[in-house]
A and B are shown apart, each in its own frame.
Chain A
Amino acid sequence: MNARKSLTAVVLVVALGVGYTSMSTAPVLRDDAYSYHGDTKWHTDYERAATIADEQNRPMLVYFWTTWCTYCEDYDENVYSDPTVRDRLDEFVLVAVNLDNDGSRTSELVNRYDANYPPQLVATHPNGTRLVKINGYVERDRFLSHLDRAERRMDR
């Protein structure tokens, strides 16, 4: 095998290495039951989350996101990984809706909450009534104040 062919073989091995390593070390975003954002864990099954919210009488927080949305990454890095935010989020039943997973359920939720672009968050009463909607990205403190408002409305 001449130099050019050997070089090609080497590069192919490198490419396979890149392929395998990157695929096996990529951070998991979603498994069968949950979607992971920052250090938080969100339900992916809306019905199941709604049942839990109903049983425990806790507000729901529905997060509309996509893998390509850079502001969703900002949420992961600056908001969801924050310990204070995490504690507050524990008070909600969390559901993440990936807008690119084009199931009929997704489009129904998109229509119901008028949330056709990422990121958007909607806090709801377990009965489905909308409490607060956050369009786009907001900083940590404003995010927390939105959660406060949602809980106040929930208590009313």
Chain B
Amino acid sequence: MTTLGTLLLGAGTLLAAVATTLLGVGYARRDDRFDALVPRVVAGAAGLLVVSLVYLTYQFVVTDYSNAYVWQNSADYLPLLYRVTGVYASNAGSLLLWATLAAVVAAWAIWQRGPGDAEGRLVGALTMGVVAYFGTVLVLDSPFRHVSTAVSGGVPTTGSGLNPLLIDPYMAIHPPLMFAAYALLTMPFAIGAAHFVGLARRDDGLFAAWRGAVTRWLRAAWLLLTTALALGALWSYTVLGWGGIWAWDPVETAILVPWLFLTATLHAVVNYRPRDRYALLAPAMTASTFALVLYTTTVVRSGVFRSVHSFADNGAGLGIVVLVGLVALLGVGLPLGYWLVREDDHEGSGGEWVTRSTLLHGAVLALGLLAFVSLWGLTFPVLRDLATGIEVEVTARYYNRWSYPFVLVTLLLLGFYMDFDVEGKRRALVGLGVFGAATVVAALYAPTTTWQLGGADQQATGLYAVVGQVSALSVFPPVAYVVLAVLKRGLTRIPGAPRQTKLKQTGIVFVHIGVALLVFSLAFTYLFTGQASVIVEGNSETGERVDVPDSPYSVQALSFGSYSVPENPDVDRVALSTRDINRRGTATNGTTQTVHGTVTDIRRGPSATVYQLDDSGVWLGVTAANGTTTTQFARGDEVVARGAVLWDYVPQAAVVVLTSPGNVGPVSDPPASLGLTRVAGQTVDLAVYEDGQQVTVGRAAQKRYPRQGGMQTREVIVDRGLVSDTYVIAAIQGDTASLTVKRIPLMTPLRLSVAALLFGMLLVFLFDPAHGVWTRLRSPSLETDPATSD
């Protein structure tokens, strides 16, 4: 059944395709005939996609279960915020959000610049092509499908609910920010790709002319992606990882890959010089970021990975490996080979190793290598499974131990680069030597085994074992080096500079110090998190204070409680009346429904009791458990039951709703098995003491979602301290709680480092004298000045 939403989507997609064609033809023929029409078509496509998204959001807000996607991802017990965020809880909705944002970005860009010259048309054609592609995917797998394509028996009265893990404020903001970043990356992709098309057509390409735009798009995406990552980590801290902000699961790792690559790309792009530095690499990286985003999205949504698995089962595994190899060869190997043998790369061609440009290149490569470690960890288990049928395990150990040495090298390189800028080569080399040696010495000294990165890991061999033995002290010298060098460089560059440069340089100082502190706090947060467990029991009075073994903590259970959501389920809303059953007719035959009504007649048989509801043709058949009828209702009782609706089951009744005693009860007190309760929560109020001093009083909760396979989530107590966070997780059963008390150090510097990073990024994004947003508005003439970049 085609729905209004699908029609809107189809119309938007059609307009996007028309715009792509007009722009493509305009580019190929160098023809400006369609230039006046294009902005309107593009605006139309963007407008229709926005309307589709708003319409889907509206369906979520009013819980319109005639839409299968709404029914699958929402429920009316959810607060308004989570009914709205249900829109992007699953594949189709998030793709719609992405496509809409990409269309808005494309429309804005075309509105700003106009289709302009031939290159501009090609960029427009590529961005709108992406939108049209997404649109087509969405029309084929629409988020507006009618619910009858998913269930029979008419429109359900209740929704399946939202994944409980997504019911969290951080998760409400995290996805839209991420998809906004992805959408912004469509522009750099189009510009990068159009550049290569230009080169292939033997002109100069457009990268040099569009460099300012590319930088701004990339920086905006970088800022949003970093914010999204930070929010995701905070979500993990309280909801998923219970005290852990990073666990290297595929979803987290997948998002880190484009972030690292984007960071490397930005370093290449701001140092791009036409016909000289990064003339090929910068546009190539710009063009490939989007491909990485697509790849990681498939990992996150995992659909493709699954189909790859089933592909392997069909014995076609090797084909895929070959395909991946070919794509990598064409996409990466070819440009790289071209660049390696190309001759017109002037700077540094004298073989000088220590130059600013070599160091910057080192930074780009180091970030690329880190991105590779994460990408490879995600990919090689799949490749190996495809090629050999053997599944291998990739755990945090792989990511931590390969990344650690590269991160240290990157930090040393960063410190050296910053120092080199101020002190010149000779003194900077001495500095690098000192801090490098200090790093090696620190790596060999571990005050206790806790300081060793690998802890008690006995099984490791090779490099895993070597890095496992390294002391976390080794992170001190590189971090100190970066902080000192960055501050020193900032102090020489900021005073006396024009205001714009001052702000940009301040931003650069914040970003790099933020990164150094982030690495430092992350390493120690993980190594020095300590935890201990204890069981507390409650009674009618306040419980006693109990010491948590092997820790400085003691806890006291103040009270236990329980609650359910919704508190008094409105049976009229969630269960069908006898009139509803009759109105829906035989479409309900064989389906499972919740029904309610007043008992008007009773027939007892040997294996079942049958109750007539509301004097109608609808009868409730309650089977007897073990030959005895346990359910007894009298005439006039209002009952509710969940069971199979069977039309023409027996000659005496039009409809029998067949159920068992556990699934039927009075409306005033429906049985739990009906699933009317969506959340069953148990709570414990606790006082937590550290060394005898009260640290916090709070409520920990355990929430169970009966309708979602009994899935559980916890609300934890987090007491944020200056030095460490105290974190309490509770598993509650009646008046007994099993508590885990964690002490998580260095969360304050970690939060500050993220704040510094974001603040610095914002300053650079806004005030860069060459390519800043604010600057461009005020003085467009600075656009072409490449000398002030970093």
| Residue ranges of A at the interface with B (Cβ–Cβ < 8 Å) | 1-5, 7-9, 11-12, 14-15, 18-19, 21-23, 25-32, 35, 67-68, 70, 73, 98, 100-103, 114-117, 135-136
Partner of B377 from A22, A35, A73, A114 at Cβ < 8 Å = A22
Is there contact, CB below 8 Å, between A67 and B381? yes
CB neighbours of B349 from chain A (8 A) = 2
Complex Cα distance, B709 from A136, in Å, reads 12
B306, B340, B384, B394: the one within 8 Å of A102 (CB): B306
Whether B389 lies near A32 (C-beta < 8 A) is: yes
Complex: A11 Cα to B365 Cα, angstroms: 7
Q: Is the CB of A30 within 8 A of B391?
A: yes
B residues near A136, Cβ cutoff 8 Å: 712
A19 lies within 8 A of B380 (CB): yes
Chain A residues near B380 (CB-CB < 8 A): 19, 22-23, 26
Collect the chain A residues with CB atoms within 8 Å of residue B365's CB: 7-8, 11
A3, A31, A73, A116: the one within 8 Å of B390 (CB): A31
Q: Are A2 and B350 in contact (CB under 8 A)?
A: yes
B124 interface residue (CB < 8 Å to A): no
Are A18 and B361 in contact, CB atoms less than 8 angstroms apart? no
CB distance from A146 to the nearest CB of B (A): 15
Given contacts A3-B351, A3-B353, are A14 and B340 in contact (CB under 8 A)? no
A-B contact pairs, 6 of them (CB 8 A): A3-B351, A4-B345, A23-B384, A28-B392, A114-B709, A117-B711
Contact of A14 among B352, B355, B369 (CB under 8 A): B369
The answer to whether B309 has its CB under 8 Å from any CB of chain A is yes
* Max chain B Cβ within 10 angstroms of own Cβ: one of A22, A29, A32: A22
Contact with A15, one of B357, B369, B710 (Cβ below 8 angstroms): B369
Also in contact, A102 and B376, with CB within 8 A (given A2-B349, A9-B340, A28-B391): no
Give complex CA distance A116, B708 in Å.
Answer: 9
What is the size, in residues, of chain B's interface with A at 8 Å between Cβ atoms?
A: 57
Q: How far is the CA of A31 from the CA of B711 in the complex (A)?
A: 31
Closest to B309 in A: A101
Contact A26 B393 (CB under 8 A): yes
Query: Please, which residue of chain A has its CB at the minimum distance from the CB of B390?
Result: A31
- Output the nearest chain B residue to A32 by Cβ-Cβ distance: B389
**Is B368 located at the chain interface by the 8 A CB criterion?**
yes
* Alpha-carbon separation in the docked complex, A5 to B392 (Å): 35
Contact A18 B340 (CB under 8 A): no
Complex-state Cα separation, A98 to B241, whole angstroms: 21
Contact present for B345 and A18 (CB under 8 Å): no
B391-A7 in contact (CB<8A):
no
B669 at the interface (CB under 8 A from A): no
If A9-B340, A18-B402, A22-B398 touch, whether A102 touches B353 (CB-CB below 8 Å) is no
Asked whether B392 lies within 8 Å of A27 as measured between CB atoms, the reply is yes
Enumerate chain A residues within 8 angstroms of B361, measured Cβ to Cβ.
4, 7-8
Asked whether, in the complex, the Cβ of B309 is within 8 Å of the Cβ of A28, the reply is: no
Q: Given contacts A26-B392, A32-B389, is CB(A3)–CB(B369) below 8 Å?
A: no
A31, closest chain B residue (CB): B390
List the B residue with the shortest CB-CB distance to A100.
B306
Query: Is B302 positioned at the interface, with any CB of A under 8 Å from its CB?
Result: yes
Which residues of the partner chain B approach A14 to less than 8 Å between Cβ atoms? 369
Identify which of B29-37, B78-86, B458-466, B768-776 touches chain A: B458-466
Do B353 and A5 touch (CB < 8 A)?
A: no
Nearest neighbor of B252 in chain A, beta-carbon distance: A68
Task: Tell me the smallest distance from the CB of B577 to a CB of chain A, in Å.
Answer: 30
Minimal beta-carbon separation of A100 from chain B (angstroms)? 6
How far, in Å, is B662 (CB) from chain A's closest CB?
A: 16
Contacts A8-B340, A19-B376 given; does A67 touch B393 at CB 8 Å: yes
| Known interface pairs A21-B462, A22-B380, A98-B391; 19 further A-B residue pairs with C-beta atoms within 8 A, sorted by A's residue number | A1-B340, A3-B353, A3-B358, A5-B339, A5-B345, A8-B361, A8-B365, A12-B336, A18-B369, A18-B402, A22-B376, A22-B377, A23-B383, A26-B384, A27-B393, A28-B392, A67-B394, A100-B309, A102-B307
Within the complex, the shortest CB–CB distance from B503 to chain A, in Å, comes to: 31
In order of increasing CB-CB distance, the 9 nearest A-B pairs are: A30-B391, A26-B392, A102-B306, A11-B365, A29-B391, A2-B349, A4-B361, A29-B393, A3-B353
Inter-chain contacts of B345 with A (CB < 8 A):
2, 4-5
* A2–B348 touching, CB < 8 Å: yes
Q: How far is the CA of A22 from the CA of B372 in the complex (A)?
A: 12
**Within 8 Å CB of A116, what residues of B?**
709
B residues within 8 A CB of A26? 380-381, 384, 392-394, 398
Within 8 A of A (CB), among B342-378: 345, 348-353, 355, 357-358, 361-362, 365-366, 368-369, 372-373, 376-377
Task: Please tell me if the beta carbons of B351 and A22 are within 8 angstroms of each other in the complex.
Answer: no
Chain A neighbourhood of B348, CB < 8 A: 2-4
Bound CA span A135–B462, Å:
37
* Min distance, Cβ A71 to any Cβ of chain B, angstroms: 11
Instruction: Mark each residue of chain B from 394 to 406: 1 if its CB lies under 8 Å from any CB of chain A, else 0.
Output: 1100100010000
Least distance between B526 CB and chain A CB atoms (Å): 13
CA distance A32 to B390 in the complex (A): 7
Chain A residues with Cβ under 8 A from B381's Cβ?
26, 67
In the complex with contacts A3-B355, A103-B310, A114-B709, A11-B462 CB distance below 8 A: no
